[in-house]
């Protein structure tokens, strides 16, 4: 299709460049301004229509403006939008999380995945009385100083040394993070055994960005951390309620001590959570652990009732029969079609991930860890994304998020766009 650029969009983009650093919110391209979303599609302010595989970076698993979610939100808004106190909807959402997520005995709400991950690491420190956290290179655990260690290092160092990926991070924090390669159980086991008396916890995305765990990797981590009494944290901000109703820990059959949740659980509103074993979560309760071991956590919008009703409505949709079968079937068709388009055009590329969440890497060979995916041709990825957009498909810089709202028409549009992109990249 030929993209239209209206005068109003040009004016809005120019305003953004004047008032926002780099002209944007720090997320995806600042050259596009979205006007609305419905189901599996979005429209920009110039009226261009796209099949949406960005999905707000994942929260809109049931689709944009789902009628049940919208109804719940519109019923709550006239009754109040935030209280800084307990509300029934937040309590009911916590109950739903406890019922769904295997590790969840208690829940504490925050407003973002970054907050949830930060508090989960702090919680492990409070519980263990130790300082160091082991994470895996390329694992995304939010925007805290600790989370931004070895997330996307341009010059990966020697394990287990951490590399800060942002200006403004105190140099001293490098000493508090240990880095291991994802999917390498032997390396992780060596580090855990060597530093067992210093480690507060191990945090991992059970499905790291778009890289599935090797068989036995997660269970091996579970066994190692349990053996040494070290809390295992699953960062399920992305995978929670996406790979299965009980999240990745349900899908893979490995239960951590603590997990973080976000995106889907807030139904498109700012809500995230830390959930886990009652004895660990007790550190949020001064009356149980005492002043010295208490972990204060205060958030103006934590457990916000509007976000809570949106989350409850989304979870109700996800509990319906056939939901995950349909989601996986749609994603499988897209993944297979994308790989077939590249193979047919002779473009070196590997599609990696699972049907609800996958990516393409413009490189050959297996994709088992960050360094494998970092071999991908970044210029090819930028061109790929641009051609998709020109053919009516929206995605982020990386990753395809699939929603329940994506239908046969959306899939057909995407497959045609994949063919067009493959042809463009083969020239």
Q: Are 158 and 186 in contact (CB under 8 A)?
A: no
Does residue 235 carry a catalytic annotation? yes
Neighbouring residues of 7: CB distance < 8 A, sequence distance ≥ 6: none
Cis peptide bond upstream of 160, omega within 30: yes
Give me the catalytic one of 140, 146, 370, 401: 140
Q: Which residues pair with 233 in a beta bridge?
A: 203, 258
Q: Which residues pair with 201 in a beta bridge?
A: 133
Does residue 245 carry a catalytic annotation? no
Distance (Å, rounded) from C-alpha 12 to C-alpha 129? 51
In order of 200, 215, 414, 416, the CA distances from 132 in angstroms are 5, 27, 44, 48
Does residue 263 carry a catalytic annotation? yes
Give me the catalytic one of 44, 52, 184, 235: 235
Distance (Å, rounded) from C-alpha 184 to C-alpha 293? 34
Q: Could you tell me the sign of the dihedral formed by the alpha carbons of 277, 279, 280, 281, in that order?
A: positive
In order of 174, 267, 418, the CA distances from 335 in angstroms are 38, 25, 10
Distance (Å, rounded) from C-alpha 262 to C-alpha 322? 23
Give me the catalytic one of 106, 132, 135, 263: 263
Active-site positions?
140, 235, 263
């Amino acid at each position: 299709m030929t993209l239209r650029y209206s005068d109003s969009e040009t004016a809005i983009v120019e305003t953004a460049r004047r008032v926002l650093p780099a002209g944007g919110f720090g997320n995806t391209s600042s050259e596009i301004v979205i006007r609305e979303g419905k189901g599996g599609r979005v429209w920009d302010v110039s009226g261009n229509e796209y099949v949406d595989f960005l999905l707000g970076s994942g929260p809109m698993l049931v689709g944009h403006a789902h009628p049940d979610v919208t109804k719940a939100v519109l019923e709550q808004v006239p009754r109040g939008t935030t209280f800084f106190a307990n509300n029934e909807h937040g309590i009911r959402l916590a109950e739903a999380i406890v019922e769904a997520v295997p590790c969840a005995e208690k829940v504490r709400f925050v407003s973002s995945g970054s907050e949830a991950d930060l508090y989960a690491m702090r919680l492990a420190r409070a519980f263990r009385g130790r300082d160091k956290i082991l994470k895996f290179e390329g694992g995304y655990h939010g925007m805290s100083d600790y989370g931004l260690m070895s997330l996307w290092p341009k010059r990966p160092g020697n394990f287990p040394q951490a590399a800060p990926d942002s200006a403004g991070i105190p140099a001293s924090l490098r000493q508090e993070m240990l880095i291991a390669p994802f999917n390498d159980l032997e390396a992780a086991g060596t580090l855990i055994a060597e530093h067992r008396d210093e480690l507060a916890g191990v945090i991992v995305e059970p499905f790291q960005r778009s890289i599935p765990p090797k068989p036995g990797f997660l269970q091996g981590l579970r066994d190692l951390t349990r053996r040494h009494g070290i809390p295992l944290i699953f960062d399920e901000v992305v995978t929670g309620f996406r790979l299965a109703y009980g999240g990745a820990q349900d899908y893979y059959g490995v239960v951590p001590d603590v997990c973080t949740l976000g995106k889907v659980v807030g139904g498109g509103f700012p809500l995230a959570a830390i959930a886990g074993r009652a004895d660990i979560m007790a550190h949020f309760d001064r009356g149980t652990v005492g002043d010295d071991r208490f972990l204060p956590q205060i958030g103006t919008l934590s457990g916000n009732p509007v976000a809570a009703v949106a989350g409850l409505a989304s979870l109700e949709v996800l509990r319906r029969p056939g939901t995950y079968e349909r989601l996986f079937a749609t994603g499988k068709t897209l993944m297979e079609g994308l790989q077939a388009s590249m193979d047919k055009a002779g473009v070196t590329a590997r599609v990696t991930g699972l049907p609800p969440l996958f990516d393409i890497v413009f490189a050959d060979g297996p994709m088992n860890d960050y360094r494998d995916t970092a071999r991908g041709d970044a210029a090819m990825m930028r061109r790929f994304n641009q051609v998709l957009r020109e053919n009516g498909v929206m995605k982020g810089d990386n990753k395809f998020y699939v929603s329940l709202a994506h239908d046969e028409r959306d899939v057909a549009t995407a497959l045609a766009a994949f063919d067009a992109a493959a042809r463009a990249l083969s020239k």
